Amino acid sequence: MVHDGIRKFWYQLSIKNKQLLFFVVIITLVGVLNIYTQYSASTYMHTFRSSITSYYSIDELRVELTRAQRASDAYLRTLDQDSRARYFQHNRQTLSAFLHVRPESETSLDAFFQVNAIHYGLIAYFDAVADAFNARESGDELYYVDYHRSQRIYGYIINYIEELLRIRLQEGSVAYSELLEEARRMRMISLGTIIFIAALFIAFAYLFSHSITGPVRDLANASKKMASGELDVNEISVSSEDEVGILADSFNVMSRSIRVMVDDIKQKAVLEKRLHDEEMANISMAKSLREAQFLSLQTQINPHFLFNTLNTIARVSMFEQAEQTTKLIESLSSLFRYNLKDGAKHCTLQEELEILKEYLHIQQVRFRERLLFTLDCTVPPETIQIPSFTIQPLVENAVRHGIEPKESGGMVRIRIRKKESMVEVKVHDSGIGIVPERLEIIRCASQADFMHIAQSDEAHGGIGIANVAQRLSLFYNGMSSLTLHSKPNFGTLVTIRFPAELGGTP
């Protein structure tokens, strides 16, 4: 009946309370054992220390009495006052030592008799020495009588002290044997307590395993079966009402719910597969559209430049020799070849700069001293890949829209630098600039707006800024940037930044 009550109480406890109860019991037992051990050790040490102190006090009494005897001998022989003073000093120390010996040494009847004998002997000894001192100081030659009497009494007292020391040593030996027996008994009690605590640990481990580890193992096995696809698992039965019991009940509810929902999941899986296939098809279509968009944007070459160039060549051919005309035709041919070479989407920065020089040669022949330009490149251009016609359209826009409308002409500066992991290209012209309304439209345009602006630029001739920005974004997967700054009558600055590593430069 009691066993059933304990089991019911145990099953109703939570895991936390089970652990707390066990640890409280263990800590209490260990504390009691520790207190008992400390108390026993303290008792042994006190007994041992008392014995040692008693031995020391008895020996100290003997030493001080011997010193007093020697000082009295010296004084009686020489009447030296220093010897007399030493005698009375040792006299006081002898009495002080006896006062320590008396309460510590009255441990038995024999010791009591020896202590009393020492007491009365000291009284007689000090009286005899005093009589000898008085006789010697008064010049009485019979002081030897009192001196010899004090010597006999001194010998008796020394014998009493040695006998008392022997008795105390004998008593200490008996006490030491008792201490050894008590220590052995304490070791046995400590060992028994430790064995009991170990047995309690084993019992708790068994109960803990039976009420917690076992159900958890059953839950783990059932979970593995469900994970492998075997949903028809047996329900877990747990007697305890703690967290493990709650967990088992929740697992049983969950397994039943999973079996109910499995058919719906299979149907949803079929539908999701169909949607996935459609999504992959859409991704493939988007990729193809992206490629087509890139090719479409790259091929937007404005025929207006070709018209102006041919017109210039015709006028130069009329007024100059064929050498300059030939150079113009060669530059124009280079531009055509660059645009039509094997349908290439990108080129090196070196190739882009070479075709830029050809373009600027043609324009300088056209505008003469009205057009100046500088090129400053501090990066290795042959190692960097960029989309074809990236810088040339920016320079073309600077000449057409900035320098050409300006009667006095102007200068175009191209500067290429590397900043950290990015390549920065700046195209700056000293032309007429861009009106704020147009500049704001370009800055705030969305991607769809960029396409609209590019088509507008194409209608007016040339590859627009939006075209360049979108081709850069496509080529560098959105990691590039294009910024535009302009002020009417002061010129325009276009800055593009793109990763160097995507172009082959670490």
213-263 residue pLDDT tens:
777 777 777 777 777 777 677 777 766 666 666 777 777 777 777 777 776
Nearest Cα residue to 17 out of 297, 179, 240, 239? 240
Contacts of 77-83 spanning 24+ positions with Cβ under 8 A:
79/136, 79/137
Instruction: Write down the mean pLDDT value for the chain.
Output: 79
Q: Phi and psi (nearest 5°) for 331?
A: -60, -45
Is the pLDDT at 421 greater than 80? The verdict is yes
Plot region of 457 (φ>0 → left; ψ -120 to 50 → alpha; else → beta) = alpha
pLDDT of residue 380: 92
Q: What does DSSP assign to residue 237? A: -
Residue burial 399-433, b: 16+ Cβ < 10 Å; e: rest = bbbbbbebeebbbbbbebeeeeebbbbbbbbbbbb
Give all domains of the chain, ordered by start, each with its CATH number: 37-190 (1.20.120.1730), 301-503 (3.30.565.10)
Tokens representing residue 10 in the block: 């145990």
> Looking at per-residue confidence, does 84 or 295 come out higher?
84
Degrees (nearest 5) of the Cα angle 295, 301, 303? 150
pLDDT tens-digit readout, 103-139: 887 778 888 899 999 999 999 999 999 999 998 888 8
pLDDT reported for residue 346 = 81
> CB of 357 within 8 A of CB of 334?
no
Q: Are 329 and 309 in contact (CB under 8 A)?
A: no
Residue with tokens 């089991």: 7
Q: What is the pLDDT of residues 264-309, one digit of tens each?
A: 777 787 878 888 777 776 675 555 445 545 554 555 445 456 556 6
The Cα 8–Cα 241 span in angstroms is 10
Report d(CA 494, CA 301) in Å as an integer. 20
Tell which residue, 258, 212, 213, has the closest CA to residue 235. 258
DSSP assignment of 89-158 equals HHHHHHHHHHHHHHHHH-SSHHHHHHHHHHHHHHHHHHHHHHHHHHHHHTT-TTHHHHHHHHHHHHHHHH
pLDDT in tens, 428-480: 999 999 888 888 877 665 344 444 444 444 444 345 677 888 888 888 888 99
Angstrom distance (rounded) from CA 119 to CA 99: 10
Summary count for the chain: helices (H), strands (E): 14, 7
pLDDT tens digits, 183-199: 788 888 888 889 988 88
* Beta partners for residue 428, in sequence order: 413, 493
The mean pLDDT value for 25-34 works out to 83
Residue 24: strand, helix, or coil: helix
Q: Name the pLDDT band for 211 (thresholds 50, 70, 90).
A: low
C-alpha to C-alpha distance for 365 and 267, rounded to whole angstroms? 74
Percent of the chain whose predicted confidence (pLDDT) is above 70: 75
